[in-house]
Structure 1
Amino acid sequence: MAVIERTRQVFTLDDQAADRYPCLPFVLRNQDSFEVKLRYDRSSAVIDLGCEGPDGWVGWSGGARDSFVVTRDAATPGYRPGTGPGRWHVVLGLHKLPVEGALVEVEVMAPATRPVDEGGVLGDHAGWPVPPDSPRASGRRLPADEGLTWYAGDLHSHTVHSDGTSQVAELAAAAASNRLDFLAVTDHNTTSHFPHLPGVSDAYGIALIPGQEVTTHRGHANAFGEIGFVDFRRPAAEWLDAVDGAGGLMSINHPLQDDCAWQHSVPRRPSLLEFWHVSWFLDLTNTAPWAWWNLARGGLDDGLGQRPGPVIVGGSDFHTPAQGYPPGTPTTWVAAAEPTPEAILEGIRKGRTAISRSPGVGEPALVRTGGELVAIDAAGCVLVDLEGRRTVIRSDRWAIPERADLHRIEAPDRSVLAVC
């Protein structure tokens, strides 16, 4: 082992203002592995950690790790394997700094002093039991147009490849156990989990959709599809161009949440909006999501006198079982031809989505089918549209002629039960 680069530097608020993502160079020659260690006082600062190689982005830990290992064939979760000669960079994220600045030490060693954690990397599913039957075997059936099925899923989740605690297989097992048909795995600023999704998907009978949460201090967006890395360091307009150009889909995530609400400017609206984030469960009478969606659709006209808004999706933002809720909280329903990642994304692209609190039988749901807006298991609740018109739902399968606009089912106490 040899230390090939060592940096010791105080980063100040001036440094943060000048460049939030400083790059510290190092050179690899013919080493089979390298290791990076980051040290700073975590009681007063938050410094993110990542890496870029001669061939592009390698990976990102955010604030979840203070070291990583990369070898020719494996890497710490969050990073892609592969070493090669050339100029590399440790990438820092100056997320939070005290007024006096933070002393940061970065050490690069080649070869690495320790092996890669193979369990986290390979997504081994030997330790996570497969449910005895597939999600569809006992899952819920909602009324759908001919040739389509409403599939239950979740479009926001995390694993050990970013700041989650679950391996990919553990996450898939939890989602399948909650009778989900699909799950988007959206780790922060990395695509290192992509290669592990197909095998785990086959093992657990659940469609795992490749995604990445493009994460910055001014807001987050999910990019869905096999589209390559979306560089979070670039302006958000470039994210949108990159995702659209590669045939993917992009959603604005939790646009009203705490310190990561959406503040970016983009020249056109992304096609998707994470309308129902798990944080909404703190107060389901909160009307801010409706106001945001109404503003998001703006004055756009579809030529028929209607103002279409973004396609609505939901996300649990699942990180760990310790949060106390499973993937699918809330549940995004997608009407698709089959439960594959490609068909699910196509259904979303065409706007065939609905959201409920969970996938469970008996949970109120609201879907569009056969030219009707159909409420299921919601007798005694109220159907509300964006104009505030309210209609009492009289039976457990209740339909009205389809109307263009966002509708919700409310309980008598005004808490939201379902959206379409």
Structure 2
Amino acid sequence: MTSEERRLRLSIDDQIENRYLEVPFELPAGRAADALEVTLAYDRDAAVIDLGCRDPERWRGWSGGARSRFVITPGAATPGYEPGELVPGRWAVVLGLHVLPAEPVDVTVTIATGVDAGAVEGEPPAPPPPSGSGAESRVGTRAGTGRTRLGRDLPAPDGLTWFAGDLHAHTTHSDGTLSIAQLTAAAAGRGLDFLAVTDHNTVSHHAHLPGVGAAYDVCLLPGQEVTTHAGHANAFGDIGWVDFRRPAAQWLSDVEARGGLLSVNHPVQDDCGWLHPVQTGFLELWHISWFLDLTATGPWAYLQAAVGALGSAGQSTQLGRPVLLGGSDFHTPDQGFPPGTPTTWVAAEDRTPGAILDAVRHGRTAISRFPRPGEPVLVRLGGDLVAVDANGTVLVDATGRRRRVRGDRVLFPAPSEPGPYRLEAPDRTLLAISA
């Protein structure tokens, strides 16, 4: 085994100069390495430093602040990192300087080769599919039937079915506490038809999604949460890695050129609201943070600003405003909010990744608090609106006009008022959103 240490002293001045500091190292040609191990040590009470890696040819992974060590081998790698040949040449450990103090903090990066390939940590045992999940039918079979796992009879245009899912979730491939299989089992147990796995600044999870999704009969959508100090965005689709170190306008053009979708995430949340001078055609309006106060109006104010920004930039969408999405941003069961909180419904031809993303692309979305039967849902049927399981709620349009919903399934013929529309409880608690 060979090992070398790089000792750094980093402060806020280094962050101001460059938020993504590369620590280069060489893997010499002619000296094959069967495993690479990198460890990062610093005072975690004084700073927050993210960890990642690139090789001479491509990005190899990112674990943010969730890990202080990773291992890459030709056949396996620490979750968040991609296995493969350890090509000779100039590699780099990439440090994300997220929080640094005024006075320098000591940082040590240790790079070792020739370590035991068995040092790669294994995934925990995969849980069995939930009882009654229908996993034996597999995703492809059920996708053709138009049936949903929940069995909710939501009115949809001919040839389409409303499927329930969650468009924002994390695993051990970034800072989540559940493996892909554990997360998928949790989604299946909630009755979700699809789930987007959107780990931070990595696509190492993508290769695992088809097999795990088939095992639990859940359509798993490949995604990446492009994560920076100035805001986060989800890149949806099997489109490869998006370089978070580049300007947000470049993310958007790269994602669109590759056939994917880019959504602005949790635009008004805490210290990771959207500060980039870019708007996309897709917006995670209903994030788990809204559950702290479902009468809050901040997200609606942001939506108005986003519509104005899209218009000023000459960007048009099918609806004239961003397509609205929901995401639990699931990281751990300890949050108390399982996958599907909130639930995004999409009217799709089937329950495959391509069909789900096509439905999102065309704005066929609705959002409810939870996936369970009996929960109020507001969906489009052609130009009409249909409120399901919503007796006693209030229908509100974008101008603030309010109408009482009387009945368990009420159709509002092609309203002329602008959307989006929402259902509220009499105390103004948000229950559901539709275009």
Q: Percent identity?
A: 58
1:115, distance to aligned residue in structure 2 (A): 2.4
Structure 2 residue aligned with 1:160: 172
Is 1:64 the counterpart of 2:75? The answer is no
Structure 2 residue aligned with 1:280: 290
Distance 2:196 2:274 in 1: 21
Structure 1 residue aligned with 2:210: 198
Q: 1:310 to 1:419 in 2, by over 3 A?
A: same
Contact 1:298 1:307 in 2 (8 A): no
User: Which amino acid is 2:50 matched to?
Assistant: D
Distance 2:94 2:269 in 1: 26
Unpaired runs of at least 5, structure 1 = none
Q: Runs of at least 4 residues of structure 1 off by over 2 A?
A: 112-120, 127-139, 299-304
Distance 2:205 2:103 in 1: 37
User: Which amino acid is 1:106 matched to?
Assistant: V
Q: What is the correspondence of 1:5-404 to structure 2 with a 5 Å cutoff?
A: 5-29=4-28, 30-82=32-84, 83-113=86-116, 115-117=118-120, 119-120=122-123, 125=126, 127-134=127-134, 136-266=148-278, 269-298=279-308, 300=311, 308-403=320-415, 404=418
> Aligned pairs, how many?
413
User: Which amino acid is 2:282 matched to?
Assistant: L
Q: 1:189 to 1:309 in 2, by over 3 A?
A: same
User: Which amino acid is 2:9 matched to?
Assistant: V
Q: 1:160 to 1:355 in 2, by over 3 A?
A: same
Which residue, 423, 428, 431 being the options, matches 1:409? Answer: 423
1:27, distance to aligned residue in structure 2 (A): 1.1
Contact 2:34 2:117 in 1 (8 A): no
User: Which amino acid is 2:422 matched to?
Assistant: R
User: Which amino acid is 1:216 matched to?
Assistant: T
Distance 1:203 1:141 in 2: 25
Q: 1:333 to 1:85 in 2, by over 3 A?
A: same
Contact 1:71 1:81 in 2 (8 A): yes
- 1:35-66 Cα offsets, whole Å, 9 max, x none, are 00100000110010000011110000100000
Distance 2:129 2:407 in 1: 39
Distance 2:115 2:257 in 1: 38
Contact 1:153 1:183 in 2 (8 A): yes
Unpaired runs of at least 5, structure 2 = 135-146
Distance 1:374 1:414 in 2: 19
So what's the TM-score if we normalise by structure 1?
Answer: 0.95
1:131, distance to aligned residue in structure 2 (A): 3.6
1:312, distance to aligned residue in structure 2 (A): 0.3
- 1:350-400 Cα offsets, whole Å, 9 max, x none, are 000000001111100000003310101111110001101000011111111
Distance 1:354 1:212 in 2: 22
Q: 1:27 to 1:207 in 2, by over 3 A?
A: same
- 1:69-93 Cα offsets, whole Å, 9 max, x none, are 0001110000000211111000001
Contact 1:131 1:176 in 2 (8 A): no
Contact 1:156 1:315 in 2 (8 A): yes
User: Which amino acid is 1:62 matched to?
Assistant: G
User: Which amino acid is 2:197 matched to?
Assistant: V
- Specify the SS of the correspondent of 1:36: strand
1:98, distance to aligned residue in structure 2 (A): 1.1
User: Which amino acid is 1:196 matched to?
Assistant: H
User: Which amino acid is 1:414 matched to?
Assistant: R
- 1:151-190 Cα offsets, whole Å, 9 max, x none, are 0000000000000011101100000110000000000000
Q: 1:101 to 1:338 in 2, by over 3 A?
A: same
1:102, distance to aligned residue in structure 2 (A): 1.4
1:218, distance to aligned residue in structure 2 (A): 0.5
Distance 1:116 1:151 in 2: 41
Distance 2:306 2:107 in 1: 41
So what's the TM-score if we normalise by structure 2?
Answer: 0.92
- 1:177-208 Cα offsets, whole Å, 9 max, x none, are 10000000000000000000000011111100
